[in-house]
Amino acid sequence: MNLHDKPFKAIESGLKTIEMRLNDIKRQKIKVDDFIEFTNTKSQKKIYCVVNSINKYKDFVELYKHYDKSSLGYKENETANPSDMSTYYSKEDIARYGVLAIEIKKL
């Protein structure tokens, strides 16, 4: 999976432990104990994580209610806002597929 620089570094540092994605056809294949290779879109650096759990939600508003902001990759001085995900996904796709909280652990 590709990641922008900021979320990549948050996973790399151990801060971010929940990867949020659209529950599209590709992500529906992810299972607990799978390995995910994340690629930084800026540097092309790679990190590897194992999937510890997967939780499904109807939208990012519901997902954000279940996790603390640091596990989602936000710093203490940042506001966790579900609308941030509109940068990546359309309202139509979110309504069609729902979303996932993929709990990961860096290897």
Note down the domain range covering 36: 2-106
Q: What is the pLDDT of residue 19?
A: 98
What's the CA gap between 55 and 10, in Å, rounded? Answer: 20
* Burial environment of residue 44 by CB neighbours within 10 A (0 to 12, 13 to 18, 19 or more): exposed
What's the domain count of the chain? 1
Mean pLDDT, residues 11-38 taken together: 97
For residue 80, which of 66, 68, 98 has the smallest C-alpha distance?
68
**CATH assignment at residue 67:** 2.30.130.30
**pLDDT by residue (tens digit) across 93-105?**
999 999 999 999 9
Please state the pTM of the whole predicted model. 0.95
**pLDDT by residue (tens digit) across 31-86?**
999 999 999 999 999 999 999 999 999 999 999 999 999 999 999 999 999 999 99
What's the CA gap between 7 and 30, in Å, rounded? Answer: 20
Q: What is the pLDDT of residue 6?
A: 94
